[in-house]
Amino acid sequence: MSVRPFDIVIQGATCLLPNPTGTGLIEQQADIAIQDGRIAKIHANISEPAQRVIKAHGHHVLPGVIDSQVHFREPGLTHKEDLETGTRAAVLGGVTSIFEMPNTNPATSTREAFFDKLERAKGRAHCNYAFFVGAGHDNVATLPDLETLPHCSGIKIFMGSSTGTLLVEDDETLEKILKQGRRRVIIHSEDEIRLRERKHIATEAADPHAHPVWRDVETAVSSTTRLLRIARKTGRPVHVLHVSTGEEMDILKDAKDIATVEVLPQHLTLFAPDCYDQLGTYAQQNPPIREKRHMDRIWQALLDGTVDVIGSDHAPHTREEKDRPYPASPSGVPGVQTLVPLMLDHVNNGKLSLTKFVELVTMNPVRVFGVENKGFLREGYDADITIVDMKAERTIDNSWIASRCGWTPFHGRKVKGWPTHTIVGGNVVMENDKVVLPSTGKPVNFKGTKHE
């Protein structure tokens, strides 16, 4: 009887595998066989036939990278980005799954808007996808139902820096939201009342160097302190996004009982005033990039276990929009395509280990968000895989950026470490900087949600 060949066998790579002790990852030489979208076999030497063999000697095979914070702007703001261009950028950067934010137009705050996004992604997304639901004053009562919708990555609260209904600046509404439902809630933590009081600083300065002065440390710390108090009062776990201050890390280090923490490559790579000297409004984002002491403290928090997740906070705007005089210029920078190369460069520079980086973008997002069947190189798991060449030296260039905005704040930056293949659901979708099999992404499933 003939044996059905594997769909793909990846040969000879160093694989990031679950540690047999049950904690963390280890690097180990192995072959990986893929069949019907799943990892079928992991072994030191797979000799069975395969329809395709990827010779990956000298490369590293990672579980598929998950970017758990992106803004792809569809619907309503598609002149900046849409689900097709955003997911194209993702797979070119080695990212196999994205969780997309709700501050679109209209906001993703109703069942209708949520299912509209799922329908828009169908047949257009190049990587796997899930969507957050936005919380506001007008949908508090429906959030427990909305968080259980199929392919919902969770509830997102903007305590600052949002518009319209997606802004929860007061403690009373925040407590109402946290009292209902049970999944971890995702938080943009800045004190909106303080931001309004201090807006004159930005207006009077008319210079992006004032961005971290306006949105100062106290704006972040006061918000996060309030959040943790209410989270503990209600017993609701929270996930604090893009933490930008050393002072917050001091607080969050002692809050692991209730809070998980995300940081961005931007806050690990750039610092003030240099970034504003070089990039002006193209370095402007919320919360802002701050002085080097904050970057150093964020690195310390990443290494000591305070930080759980690295996300990109991919938030593209057109050049025309970014060229407006500050503070009329919008906050946000693209990042989904550069997350992996930037962090691999930090690995090569000795800032963190490869296993630590991979934990922060695979197994930890799975734990924080309750992702099903992803995040590990394990037999039976979805065959979402990122292959990287740790020795490849490249220069990040605007011409490589697939995002509709067409630029990156890291243009001209030399890095060592680059994604060579992105495998989504057992399909090679990116190979050597080219999307070779488009539109194969599928919606992500989560524990505690309905399945279609």
pLDDT at site 161:
79
pLDDT at residue number 2: 60
Burial of residue 350, with CB atoms counted within 10 A of its CB: 0-12 exposed, 13-18 middle, 19 or more buried: exposed
Long-range contacts of range 229-235, CB-CB < 8 Å, 24 or more positions apart? Answer: 230/171, 230/174, 230/175, 230/178, 231/178, 231/258, 231/259, 232/257, 232/258, 233/175, 234/175, 234/178, 234/179
* Residue 440 covered by a domain: no
Clarify whether residues 157 and 218 are in a common domain: yes
Strand pairing class (25-35; 6-18): antiparallel
Q: How open is the CA angle 41-47-53, to the nearest 5 degrees?
A: 80
Whether residue 122 sits in one domain with residue 22: no
- Lookup: tokens for 5: 């060949």
Same domain, 362 and 384: no
Same domain, 40 and 116: no
Residues of the chain with confidence (pLDDT) below 50: none
Q: Which residues face 259 on adjacent strands?
A: 238
Number of neighbouring beta carbons within 10 Å of residue 305: 11
Residue 201 parent element (H or E): helix 192-205
Residue with tokens 């995300």: 262
| Residues designated as active site | 313
Given this model, what pLDDT does residue 86 score?
Answer: 98
Domain around 203:
65-369
Residue 208 lies in a domain: yes
Predicted pLDDT of residue 164: 66
Is-cis flag, bond preceding 316, omega within 30? no
Let me know if residue 447 belongs to a domain.
no
Same domain, 326 and 243: yes
Q: Are residues 384 and 311 in the same domain?
A: no
pLDDT digits (tens, 9 = 90+) for 263-322: 999 999 999 999 999 999 999 999 999 999 999 999 999 999 999 999 999 999 999 999
Looking at the fold, whether 138 and 200 belong to one and the same domain comes out as yes
pTM, 2 dp: 0.98
Structural domain contains residue 294: yes
The candidate with the shortest Cα–Cα distance to 422, out of 337, 359, 342, 345, is 337
Please tell me whether residues 18 and 39 are part of one structural domain: yes
Do 92 and 162 lie in one domain? The reply is yes
Considering the domain architecture, whether residues 211 and 157 belong to the same structural domain is answered as yes
In a domain, 452, yes or no: no
Instruction: Supply the angle between the helices 292-304 and 354-361 in degrees, to the nearest 10.
Output: 90
**217 part of a folded domain:** yes
Write the CA distances from 314 to 69, 124, 279, integer angstroms.
Answer: 7, 19, 17
Please check whether residue 444 lies inside any domain of the structure: no
Helix residue ranges per DSSP H, 253-398? 265-269, 274-279, 292-304, 319-322, 339-348, 354-361, 363-369
Q: How many helices (H) and strands (E) does the chain have?
A: 15, 17
Where residue 46 sits, what CATH number does that domain have? 2.30.40.10
Buried b (16+ CB within 10 A) or exposed e, 417-452: bbbbbbbbbbbbbbbeeebeebebbbbbbbeebeee
Q: Does 252 share its domain with 338?
A: yes
- Which CATH number goes with the domain that contains 127? 3.20.20.140
Q: Which of 200, 197, 182, 191 is nearest to 238 (CA)?
A: 182
Residue 451 lies in a domain: no
Q: Domain tally for the chain?
A: 2
DSSP state of 331: P
340 and 276 inside one domain: yes
Omega of the bond leading into 212 within 30 degrees of 0 (cis): no
